[in-house]
C-alpha cells in the first residue's frame, strides 16, 4: 500500500505537472478534492468500525452529521494549502533549472548557442546537413585599434546579423572568439552556398559606428555538407579548411570544402593585425 501511494505521489509531483502557477493552483484544487473525499470516507468508515466494536462513545447519527459538515471542507482547505506550497516549490525549481540549462547552453556575449549546445544540436540531426563556419576578418585589428569594448560590439552586431538573415529558429552558435557556426538541415551544396553568401553580403552591408567612427567589417566562410551520420568532426574539418582557404585567398569570400583538393596546409594568410584607416573609416 505504501509503495502504491509513494509511486502515485511521485507521479503527481513530476516537474511536467507544474508548467505555470495557474497549473499549480488547478492541480492543487483537483488533488484537494480527492483528498477530501478520501478523508471523509475514512472518517465514516472509522465510525462504523468503532460502532461494530462497541467503542463509539457517542451516538452514530450525530457523529456522522458532524463528520459530514467538518471533514470535507477542513481537509480540502488544508490539502489545497499544502499541495500549493509543494507545487509552487517544484514550479520554482523547474524554472530555475530551465534558466540554468539555458544559460549553460548560451554564449553570454552574443546571445547565440555556445559550442556545447551546437554540438548537441548536430548530434540530434539526421540526414542531409550543411555546416558553415564564419570568421570575422581582421578582428584582432578592431580590438587593437578601438579596444575590446569595440570588439564586443562587433561580435554582438555580427550575431544579430546572422539571426536576421537566418531567423531565430536556426542553429547558430558562437564557437570561438570571432568564429561562428551555422547548421543547416535538409540543405545541399547550392542552398548552403547561397545562404553563406547572403550572410557574407549582409555583414558587409552593415553600417557600424563605434566610438564615433564608422566601421566596416566582413566575414570569410567555409562550407561543408553531407549527411549528419558522417559525424561532426569530418564536416567540421572540411569547413575549417575551407575557411582557412577563404582567409588565405583574400578574405570576405566563401569557399566550399569541395574546392580543397591540392590545397597546401601551409598556405599563407595575410597578417590579421594589419589595418588601414583612411578618410576616418576603419577597414576591419
Q: For 82, what's the count of Cα atoms within 13 Å in the CB-facing half-sphere? A: 11
For residue 85, what is its C-alpha cell?
506550497
Residue 218: other Cβ atoms inside 10 A: 18
Which residue of the set 101, 178, 179, 209 is catalytic? 178
Q: Give the closest residue to 239 by CA, choosing from 181, 186, 185, 282.
A: 181
> In sequence order, what E strands does the chain have?
128-136, 171-174, 179-185, 208-210, 213-216, 219-227, 254-256, 276-278, 281-283
Is 234 marked active-site? no
Residue owning grid cell 574539418: 237
**Helix (H) or strand (E) run with residue 259 in it:** none
Residue owning grid cell 570588439: 151
Question: Could you give the residue numbers annotated as active site?
Answer: 178
Amino acid at each position: 500500500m505504501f509503495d502504491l501511494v509513494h509511486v502515485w505521489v511521485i507521479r503527481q509531483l513530476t516537474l511536467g505537472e507544474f508548467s505555470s502557477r495557474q497549473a499549480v493552483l488547478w492541480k492543487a484544487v483537483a488533488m484537494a478534492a480527492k483528498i477530501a473525499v478520501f478523508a471523509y470516507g475514512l472518517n465514516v468508515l472509522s465510525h462504523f468500525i468503532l460502532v461494530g466494536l462497541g467503542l463509539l462513545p457517542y451516538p452514530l447519527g450525530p457523529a456522522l452529521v458532524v463528520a459530514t459538515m467538518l471533514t470535507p471542507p477542513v481537509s480540502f482547505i488544508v490539502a489545497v494549502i499544502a499541495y500549493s506550497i509543494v507545487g509552487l516549490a517544484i514550479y520554482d525549481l523547474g524554472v530555475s533549472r530551465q534558466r540554468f540549462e539555458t544559460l549553460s547552453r548560451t554564449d553570454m556575449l552574443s546571445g547565440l548557442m555556445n559550442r556545447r549546445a551546437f554540438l548537441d544540436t548536430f548530434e540530434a540531426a539526421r540526414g542531409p546537413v550543411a555546416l558553415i563556419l564564419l570568421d570575422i576578418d581582421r578582428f584582432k585589428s578592431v580590438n587593437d585599434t578601438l579596444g575590446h569594448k569595440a570588439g564586443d560590439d562587433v561580435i554582438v552586431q555580427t550575431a544579430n546579423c546572422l539571426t536576421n538573415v537566418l531567423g531565430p529558429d536556426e542553429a547558430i552558435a558562437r564557437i570561438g572568439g570571432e568564429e561562428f557556426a551555422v547548421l543547416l538541415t535538409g540543405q545541399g551544396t547550392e542552398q548552403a552556398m547561397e545562404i553563406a553568401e547572403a550572410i557574407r553580403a549582409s555583414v558587409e552591408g552593415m553600417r557600424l559606428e563605434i566610438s564615433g567612427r564608422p566601421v566596416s567589417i566582413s566575414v570569410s566562410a567555409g562550407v561543408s555538407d553531407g549527411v549528419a551520420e558522417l559525424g561532426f568532426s569530418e564536416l567540421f574539418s572540411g569547413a575549417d579548411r575551407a575557411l582557412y582557404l577563404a582567409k588565405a585567398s583574400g578574405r570576405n569570400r566563401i569557399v566550399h570544402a569541395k574546392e580543397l583538393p591540392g590545397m597546401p596546409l601551409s598556405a599563407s594568410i595575410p597578417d590579421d593585425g594589419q589595418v588601414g584607416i583612411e578618410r576616418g573609416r576603419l577597414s576591419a
